[in-house]
Structure 1
Amino acid sequence: MILDARDLPAGQTLTADLCLVGAGAVGIAMALELAGSGLSVILLESGGFGREEDSQALYRGAVTDPARHSPLDRYRERRLGGSTTTWGGRSMPLDPIDFEPRPAIPHSGWPIGPADLAPFYPRANRLVEAGAFAYTAETAFDRTLRPMIPGFASPHFTTNTLERFSCPTDFGRRYRHKLEQAADLRVLLHANVVHIALSDGGERVEALEVRTLQGGAFRVAAGRFVLATGGLETVRLLLASHDRAPAGIGNHHDLVGRFYMCHLAGTIGRLRIDGPPFSAWNGYDIADDGTYCRRRIALRPDVQRELGLGNVIARLHHPRITDPSHRNGALSLLYLARAFIPYEYGKRLHGGEAVGLADRLRHLGNVAGDLPATIGFMLHLLRDRRLAERKFPSIVIRSRANLFSLDFHAEQQPDPASRVTLGHERDALGLPRLVVDWRYGRGDVDTVSRTLALFAVDIAASCVGRFDYDPDQVESEMTRYGAYGGHHIGVARMSDSPRQGVVDRDGRVHGIANLHLAGSAVFPTSSQANPTLTAIALGLRLAHHLRDRAAVPAGTTPAPAPPSSAPPSGVPA
């Protein structure tokens, strides 16, 4: 059932076997997985059914360098469904190499491996509605797909791995009826956790203190607690709850909020592919179930190991739209309409460059001169993106001249100096607001620079075209958008040792018997992959762990469950 915390009598204590905090993708996935398990569950959500500005304002904070990081109330949504209400739907698992300790990647290595997530990835894929859990062209399609770049043969890159796209599925809207119908689940909206109350000895959580913006207050007592509040908000709750733990909960070794990673993304260069018009393929392949899939240019894992590089993928992309010399009416229309494009996509789409009146007139000329194609593009957006239930994922412009830029998405190395801390300013509930000091390092620049150089060599060696770019512009291009998107990773990392991480391999906070964290905050490394699918898979794994151990008192240590030895289907080795 779904209730509103504003309607509850003040001062009461609600009880349950398990309390989940945060009704985004991970929290809702865990709640659905636990429904009917015999456990009573409370799911607390700060917002309501839709966007509410007073709730959203609780996310505001400070950024040490605004050029490197978006405002903290961007990319995060404080409402039922969380950021799935605005996400783009891109889904893919981590690669096996991402779990490995890698000498060239400081602080790398997960305490779990691909086999531990293999049983949960397919269920995560179904929840996000991204079709089958098959992430290579060979496993996802019975037919042979046309090549991305005809004749391209590379010892360093593959072109057969996929990213799949959700509808994109808004978890709040899609699964609301299931949450309402679950008899053993209570979802409380407008319920803001303001404090984690520990026992006198500080070894377990006794209750959560919860408030509404209207002044209501109550407590939730449970056998076990899970924070699934997103990477940044998880840090805030742990650090702000410091009455029993002076440095903050789980922060005995000053690790909460450190190792903050996002992804490094950019669009660079000029790639011309030889061959007949439209012979290169930068579009989407549609699976039999209607799911949009897109192939990428991916750095091989053996090359990563041999050359000491991080994980990188790239896509064939249209030229930067701010330059009217592309002479494409659809691209010019997008530039002229940039004020109407949502922040999350507009920032990446047009790059923020100032364009003078002369260039604006040239953009208008492109639209007028390419009017039939531009009208067709507008109809495509209306039909396939605005009105379709399964939306066309992104702007894809076919090039008659086989002319593209390269859109890359790279792993960021863990760095303890990149961190999230508490500031002095407080929100309407009295919680300290966050201060984000996101940083990147020379290893990140090196990974992108050397990957681009390898790609240029392989394009030339294959005699299929030419990739030109300015090596001196790599760093500025890879940081043009700063910490890319809403990928808040690594701030409460997973480790077998409390000296190296905040949670153990089951997401339990070191030293706290009954407090778990779920989401990308616990990732030790970022991979090249968008984190949503893996965050959900980890949440499902945690849900099974909690369900299977529900009969074991929270202060004891149960025998670990044996990991699955089956490799994840469709994940390239």
Structure 2
Amino acid sequence: MSVIELNAISGKTVLPLPACDICIVGSGPAGTTLAQELSNTNLRVTLLESGGMARDPLMDALDEIDNVGRPRAGDQWSVRNRIVGGSSHTWGGRCGPFDAIDYEERPWVPYSGWPIDGADLEPYLARTASHLGLAFGNGYNDERFWAIANRQRPTPDLDPAILIPFFWQFSRDTEEAYPYEYMRFGRHVAKRIGPNVTLVTGATAQSVHVSASGDAIRGVRFTAADGSQQVLAASIVILCCGGVENARILMNSDETKPHGVGNDHDQVGRYLMDHLRGSVATFSLPGSDALQKRFGRYNVSRHFFRAGFRLSPDIQRREQLLNCAGWLGEVLAKDDPWDALRRVAGRTPKLPQDLFNIIANSNLLVRGLKDFLGAKNGVPRKLTELDLQCMCEQVPNPDSRVTLSERRDRLGMRLPRVDWRSHSDESRTMRRMAELAVQELPKAGLPAPKLEEWARDGAEIPSTFVDVAHPTGTTRMSTQPSHGVVDANCEVHGVSGLFVQGSSVFPTAGHCNPTQMIVALAVRLADHVKAKHPYREPVLVTAHARFA
């Protein structure tokens, strides 16, 4: 892999880039996976990244949004990263596939239904393991977990007609010194990407360039940090910039059509979803040991899994609920010895306090080593609070959307105007999940939680439940152009060679973290591109063209 760092080039003229067959815009999990899957082929691939190898406040500023809807995270770095590796710099490593019901057209969920189903993605989920550092790519997040982990299923357990066990797997980068570091895609990009790929940093994509008729891709217009512009010619362009930025780029591509590319039916930017996540109930710490073991961390093949539960499809259908999952939320004590031990092992101790915490809590460390090495569980932590955290899918709503603001960033691109909305069914679902936990946990011999005030009183989800970096649905997949932006292969309706990747193509959000699904779709798209778009000469565009 060759690297061109535009931020390191002085002057006002952008270095001309070689024409390519495929331009991938964005080097996060989707973009880097595509680059890896397309490596060592006869296709000339360029991977464009707005940021550089290190975080830069000037790049961070380009993620500013004009928020006019439900409160969102104030620090955009916590949810969007302009840097090689993208959002993998701040993700929590939690992985899991969608449930079968998530793909269905559900009469009680407007605009639900995918043009593909779980069987279509099953082989690609298996192939995500190497990209994400997983022990298993699929087949681990339901009853099959107990066989994989070589354990007996706990008895009594939850009633599967109401609450079904679910297991999230945590990404692991086995090449890092800390044994449970998550996969950060930018760290190993140089050795995992082939010689046919060129990484270009400091190149902020602003629009896609299409043919005069608007039905075929021609390239990408990007801007360097100094404001210099260039058009990179490409026969195939794949946008991998996240749920906000993918829509922003398409709407800003107004050279041939005033409302942007792929937007003939005013679908770009609509159906913005995220995940509403927060506490629905609390547990008393005394007497919670069995609960923490059953729904804690499991060590399987040197990979961590976290146990939880989700609403069964039966109860979703019967009560017209959305999909929702729950797990134990832990608030660590300031003197938790495992945090102190990790800092000491990583040679970043806070002395003398860390040594004092380790000695004062040595009994917890001994118990933890027994659990970790013997029972193959996660280590017990010193807690101050224990609650039931829930994460719920959102109702696809065409009025929850990203549009373009009149405000512009320093490169002259209009800011995304974000009008993120919530629906009463989301509050109803999370309240019902809390009630079912109170009802069902004691039947399994576990303590019942106490409902949070908002859940007990039938109130709406608190405004403190902000987005969790899962912007979804703004370039949704559909069979008809009037119902979405991309087709089942993630190609923009009516624009040959223009593809979109990431959670922005999801028609529904499910209850689960999206990264494994994103990577599975990227692997699937790479296979499609290699099969359907063999090598061909790109249409050349003048290197320093400027678009209106």
More moved, 444-453 vs 278-287: 278-287
Describe the superposition over 1:275-311 as per-residue Cα deviations: whole angstroms up to 9, x where unpaired.
Answer: 79556514211012x1001111221122222221111
The corresponding residue for 1:514 is 497
Q: 1:551/1:177 Cα in 2 relative to 1: closer, same or farther (>3 Å)? A: closer
Query: What are structure 1's unaligned runs of at least 5 residues?
Result: 322-329, 338-366, 382-391, 556-573
TM-superposed deviation, 1:470: 4.5
Kindly indicate whether the alpha-carbon contact (under 8 Å) linking 2:125 and 2:520 is maintained by their aligned counterparts in 1: yes
Give, as a single letter, the amino acid of the residue that structure 1 aligns with 2:498.
Answer: L
The corresponding residue for 2:5 is 4
Structure 2: distance between partners of 1:472 and 1:197: 49
Describe the superposition over 1:254-284 as per-residue Cα deviations: whole angstroms up to 9, x where unpaired.
Answer: 1111111111111132346997955651421
Describe the superposition over 1:74-127 as per-residue Cα deviations: whole angstroms up to 9, x where unpaired.
Answer: 411101100111211000111111100011111100001111111111211221
Q: 1:263/1:375 Cα in 2 relative to 1: closer, same or farther (>3 Å)? A: farther
Q: 1:532/1:377 Cα in 2 relative to 1: closer, same or farther (>3 Å)? A: farther
TM-superposed deviation, 1:442: 0.8
Structure 1: distance between partners of 2:291 and 2:398: 46
Give, as a single letter, the amino acid of the residue that structure 1 aligns with 2:297.
Answer: Y
Q: Which of 87, 94, 101 is the matching residue for 2:91? A: 87
TM-superposed deviation, 1:165: 0.3
Structure 2: distance between partners of 1:379 and 1:155: 35
Structure 1: distance between partners of 2:62 and 2:366: 39
Describe the superposition over 1:21-70 as per-residue Cα deviations: whole angstroms up to 9, x where unpaired.
Answer: 00111101001101122211111111111101111111112212573444
TM-superposed deviation, 1:473: 3.8
The corresponding residue for 1:453 is 435
The corresponding residue for 1:174 is 188
* Secondary structure at the counterpart of residue 207 of structure 1: strand
The corresponding residue for 2:407 is 425
More moved, 152-161 vs 496-505: 152-161
The corresponding residue for 1:103 is 107
Kindly indicate whether the alpha-carbon contact (under 8 Å) linking 2:244 and 2:471 is maintained by their aligned counterparts in 1: yes
Q: Which of 290, 298, 321 is the matching residue for 1:285? A: 298
Kindly indicate whether the alpha-carbon contact (under 8 Å) linking 1:88 and 1:393 is maintained by their aligned counterparts in 2: no
The corresponding residue for 1:164 is 169
TM-superposed deviation, 1:370: 9.0
* Secondary structure at the counterpart of residue 504 of structure 2: helix
Q: Which of 417, 421, 429 is the matching residue for 1:439? A: 421
Q: 1:513/1:395 Cα in 2 relative to 1: closer, same or farther (>3 Å)? A: farther
Q: How does 1:124-135 map to 2 (within 5 A)?
A: 124-133=128-137, 134-135=139-140
The corresponding residue for 1:39 is 43
Q: Which of 148, 153, 161 is the matching residue for 1:141? A: 148
* Secondary structure at the counterpart of residue 29 of structure 1: helix
Q: 1:482/1:396 Cα in 2 relative to 1: closer, same or farther (>3 Å)? A: farther
Q: 1:376/1:81 Cα in 2 relative to 1: closer, same or farther (>3 Å)? A: farther
Q: 1:277/1:450 Cα in 2 relative to 1: closer, same or farther (>3 Å)? A: closer
Structure 2: distance between partners of 1:156 and 1:530: 23
TM-superposed deviation, 1:209: 1.4
Kindly indicate whether the alpha-carbon contact (under 8 Å) linking 1:224 and 1:554 is maintained by their aligned counterparts in 2: no
The corresponding residue for 1:240 is 252
Structure 2: distance between partners of 1:110 and 1:314: 24
Structure 2: distance between partners of 1:279 and 1:452: 16
Q: 1:476/1:158 Cα in 2 relative to 1: closer, same or farther (>3 Å)? A: closer
Structure 2: distance between partners of 1:36 and 1:398: 48
Structure 2: distance between partners of 1:144 and 1:74: 37
Q: 1:393/1:537 Cα in 2 relative to 1: closer, same or farther (>3 Å)? A: farther
Q: 1:74/1:271 Cα in 2 relative to 1: closer, same or farther (>3 Å)? A: closer
The corresponding residue for 2:272 is 260
Structure 1: distance between partners of 2:366 and 2:89: 24
1:187 aligns with 2:194: no
1:308 aligns with 2:300: no
Kindly indicate whether the alpha-carbon contact (under 8 Å) linking 1:205 and 1:514 is maintained by their aligned counterparts in 2: yes
Kindly indicate whether the alpha-carbon contact (under 8 Å) linking 1:236 and 1:422 is maintained by their aligned counterparts in 2: yes
User: Structure 1 residue runs of 4+, over 6 Å off?
Assistant: 273-276, 375-381, 392-396, 474-477, 552-555
Q: How does 1:364-375 map to 2 (within 5 A)?
A: none
1:531 aligns with 2:518: no
The corresponding residue for 1:202 is 214
Give, as a single letter, the amino acid of the residue that structure 1 aligns with 2:232.
Answer: V
TM-superposed deviation, 1:550: 1.6
Structure 2: distance between partners of 1:220 and 1:278: 58
Describe the superposition over 1:130-153 as per-residue Cα deviations: whole angstroms up to 9, x where unpaired.
Answer: 211232353462421574xx6344
TM-superposed deviation, 1:446: 1.4
RMSD: 3.4
Q: How does 1:108-119 map to 2 (within 5 A)?
A: 108-119=112-123
More moved, 372-381 vs 131-140: 372-381
Q: Which of 55, 67, 71 is the matching residue for 1:63? A: 67
Structure 1: distance between partners of 2:285 and 2:157: 10
Kindly indicate whether the alpha-carbon contact (under 8 Å) linking 2:408 and 2:414 is maintained by their aligned counterparts in 1: yes
TM-superposed deviation, 1:461: 4.9
The corresponding residue for 2:333 is 331
TM-superposed deviation, 1:395: 9.9
Kindly indicate whether the alpha-carbon contact (under 8 Å) linking 1:255 and 1:501 is maintained by their aligned counterparts in 2: yes
Structure 2: distance between partners of 1:244 and 1:393: 58
Task: Kindly tell me the number of residue pairs found equivalent between the two proteins.
Answer: 498
1:151 aligns with 2:165: no
* Secondary structure at the counterpart of residue 4 of structure 2: strand
Structure 1: distance between partners of 2:464 and 2:158: 31
TM-superposed deviation, 1:161: 2.4
Structure 2: distance between partners of 1:276 and 1:456: 14
More moved, 479-488 vs 67-76: 67-76
Give, as a single letter, the amino acid of the residue that structure 2 aligns with 1:249.
Answer: V
Q: 1:299/1:221 Cα in 2 relative to 1: closer, same or farther (>3 Å)? A: same
Kindly indicate whether the alpha-carbon contact (under 8 Å) linking 2:52 and 2:83 is maintained by their aligned counterparts in 1: yes
* Secondary structure at the counterpart of residue 195 of structure 2: coil
Describe the superposition over 1:449-505 as per-residue Cα deviations: whole angstroms up to 9, x where unpaired.
Answer: 222222222235556433321564467784454333110100110000011101100
Structure 2: distance between partners of 1:197 and 1:209: 7
* Secondary structure at the counterpart of residue 116 of structure 1: helix
Give, as a single letter, the amino acid of the residue that structure 2 aligns with 1:428.
Answer: R
Q: 1:254/1:482 Cα in 2 relative to 1: closer, same or farther (>3 Å)? A: farther
TM normalised by structure 2 equals: 0.83
The corresponding residue for 1:410 is 392
Kindly indicate whether the alpha-carbon contact (under 8 Å) linking 1:61 and 1:71 is maintained by their aligned counterparts in 2: no
Q: 1:426/1:446 Cα in 2 relative to 1: closer, same or farther (>3 Å)? A: same
The corresponding residue for 2:243 is 231
Structure 2: distance between partners of 1:169 and 1:235: 26
TM-superposed deviation, 1:397: 3.6
The corresponding residue for 1:18 is 22
The corresponding residue for 1:77 is 81
TM normalised by structure 1 equals: 0.79
